[in-house]
Structure 1
Amino acid sequence: METAIYKILRADEWQALMADGTFEGAPVDLADGFVHLSTGAQVRETAARHFAGEAGLMLVAIDPETTPEGALRYEPSRGGDLFPHLYAPLATDMIESAWPLALGADGAHDFWMLEAESE
């Protein structure tokens, strides 16, 4: 299996995904024409840049092998780094795990689950 990729969802987005079975994307995703995702190495910076101080988030791990053929593309973004972009709705059957993304005492999001997965 390819390494998991991640999507950070706000509570209402997570609830919509669970209710509908698919998620077309957040406003930025809809504007750009794809669902923005991050690798494990990128997701902390994504949280700090786009979700700083936000509570009530979910971190969703996606199995790249379950995405529709040709819909997942790694494209240059921040500083030329290749980010995974999903050119299809995010569906519940693509999700391998999901966790609440709590804020730590320092105000940064706590990615304990990524440390636990790498052990």
Structure 2
Amino acid sequence: MLLHIIARSVWETAVSHPPYHPPSLDTEGFIHCSTVAQVLTPANERYQGQTDLLLLCIDPEKVSQPLIYEDCYETGQQFPHIYGPLDPAAVVSVVAFPPNADGSFSLPAVLALWRDYPILEFDGAQTAVLEPNILIKPLDGIPQKCVLCFFYDVIDRLKAEGRLRQIYSLTSEIGPNPVYEMEVDGERIVLAHPGVGAPLVAFFFDELIALGCRHFIACGGAGV
């Protein structure tokens, strides 16, 4: 679902004289839109206190013009832009968008339901909420190839043979989890136990990527 903020009188004119061709098409080349998660940002920055506004709910599948998600103003978010006039037939719903008593805007209740299902929304943020490389610095010289070995007995045997050198320690609520370096056929590789259970494996996997590993192979049972 795409949203576009518009004055009621402008929309009434667009419906009677389609297609909708706002001034931004001539000045910037596109129609500004937002996702449900984004719309309050432009609303509160540009339309504070305006009382005649509507939200056009646009089905992106019905938009006949090019639709591009991009960050034109270095906001850190990619907003949807429609590069051409909008056919009113692409608008599946029109929602009143009155301001609060202080002039600010809140998401209408009918649209707030969409926020309960973030997987349905396009997130234009270029930086994830959980981004390991923001918190973890790359480990200098770490090999890019990494084996995720689920078998502790194999790791213990290699350690007893003196083939492993600990270079890092992954940590979680269950305690430290060593990351080793070893040599195989003259090539240095990383060896680590990835933990047990999908959430912990994903957590350690992301951290190893942030450290500098890029090529992974898993060694385990139960279909691994």
TM-score, normalising length: structure 1: 0.85
- Can you give the 5+ residue segments of structure 1 that lack an aligned partner in the other structure? none
Partner of 2:31: 35
The DSSP-based 3-state class of the residue aligned with 1:8 is strand
Match of 1:73 among 44, 68, 71: 68
% identical equivalent positions: 30
The DSSP-based 3-state class of the residue aligned with 1:80 is coil
Matched, 1:8 2:16: no
Match of 1:23 among 20, 23, 28: 20
Q: What is the RMSD computed on CA atoms of the aligned residues?
A: 1.7
Number of residue pairs the alignment of both structures matches: 114
Amino acid at match of 1:9: I
Q: Distance in 1 between matches of 2:51 and 2:98?
A: 6
Q: Distance in 2 between matches of 1:36 and 1:74?
A: 10
1:21-69 per-residue CA deviation (whole Å, 9 max, x = no partner) reads: 32111x3342101111111111001101111111100101100011116
Which of these two proteins has the greater Rg computed from alpha carbons? Answer: 2
1:65-110 per-residue CA deviation (whole Å, 9 max, x = no partner) reads: 11116x1011113413111110111111101111111112232123
More helix by share: 1
Q: Distance in 2 between matches of 1:53 and 1:83?
A: 23
Task: State the 4+ residue runs in structure 1 displaced beyond 3 angstroms.
Answer: 116-119
Q: Distance in 1 between matches of 2:114 and 2:14?
A: 24
TM-score, normalising length: structure 2: 0.47
Partner of 1:99: 95
Query: Taking CA–CA contacts closer than 8 Å with sequence separation of 6 or more, which of the two structures ends up with the larger relative contact order?
Result: 1
